[in-house]
Chain A
């Protein structure tokens, strides 16, 4: 399909790991992104992965990329209440008529962390 797909909700206990999954559509996407949206705020870039990588680790965050299945995941280790937010997966697509790359977002996964 045309859409970037994510599950809408995830609930975890404080201290556990969270895994947020995403399926993207464009196999030629060179970069894939994870954005975080806290309540009442705009989106903030959390991390990204280049398409020639399988994994990227950044402190408590681990991004896994399976290009064959067009599957991306974000793992948050030792999840804290401050991690409660909406997490968006985004792929980059070329708008060929415009010659510019644009972000296409999933609908977001709302992560709730239970103390």
Chain B
């Protein structure tokens, strides 16, 4: 158990809908990272938040957004969903903001999103 929790575990929805995925980092970790894992693209970095502020953006679509709250939990919002958004979405946390090149991240168990 990494100490990172994600809810829900599974989510099934229809095209065009909007969903929110939730992540609670390990106690004391200030950074939260979101990743998308799909069969064809592998594990793609989406976005990082550090202590409530956006820190780095990866391959995140404009239809997707995230935020980190004062208690450091984070939410990933996915809107206007398409079939291709079906994937596993992972959250990870780390103690620092990624300033060091040693960046150990602790992953949650993921949310499996299925768009029908």
A44 proximity list for chain B (CB < 8 A): 2, 107
Q: Is B52 an interface residue (CB 8 A)?
A: no
B1-36, CB under 8 A of A: which get 1 and which 0?
Answer: 010100000000000000000000000000001000
Interface of A is mostly: strand
- Choose, from A64-72, A73-81, A100-108, the stretch at the interface: A100-108
Q: Could you say which residues of chain A place their CB within 8 Å of the CB of B92?
A: 42-43
Contact of A102 with B2 at beta-carbon distance under 8 Å, contacts A42-B90, A45-B104 already known: no
For B107, give its contact among A43, A95, A101, A106 (CB under 8 Å): A43
Known: A42-B109, A44-B107, A106-B42. A100 touches B102 (CB 8 A): no
Count of B interface residues, CB-CB < 8 Å: 28
A115 at the interface (CB under 8 A from B): no
> What residues of B have a CB within 8 angstroms of the CB of A35 in the complex?
107
- Determine the distance from Cα of A35 to Cα of B104 in the docked complex, in whole angstroms: 10
Known: A88-B43, A107-B42. Is A101-B98 also a contact (CB below 8 A)?
Answer: yes
In the complex, are the beta carbons of B42 and A92 less than 8 A apart? no
Establish whether residues A103 and B103, one from each chain, have CB atoms under 8 Å apart when the complex forms. Answer: yes
> For the complex, is A27 an interface residue (Cβ under 8 Å from B)?
no
A77, B104: Cα distance in complex, Å: 24
> Hey, which chain B residues are within 8 Å of A102, CB to CB?
33, 45, 48, 56, 58, 98, 103
Given known A-B contacts A44-B2, A105-B42, A107-B42, A98 and B103 have beta carbons under 8 A apart: no
Q: How far, in Å, is B104 (CB) from chain A's closest CB?
A: 6
17 A-B pairs in the complex with CB atoms less than 8 angstroms apart: A31-B103, A40-B109, A41-B110, A42-B4, A44-B107, A45-B106, A88-B43, A92-B103, A94-B101, A98-B48, A98-B56, A100-B48, A100-B99, A103-B45, A103-B105, A105-B42, A105-B43
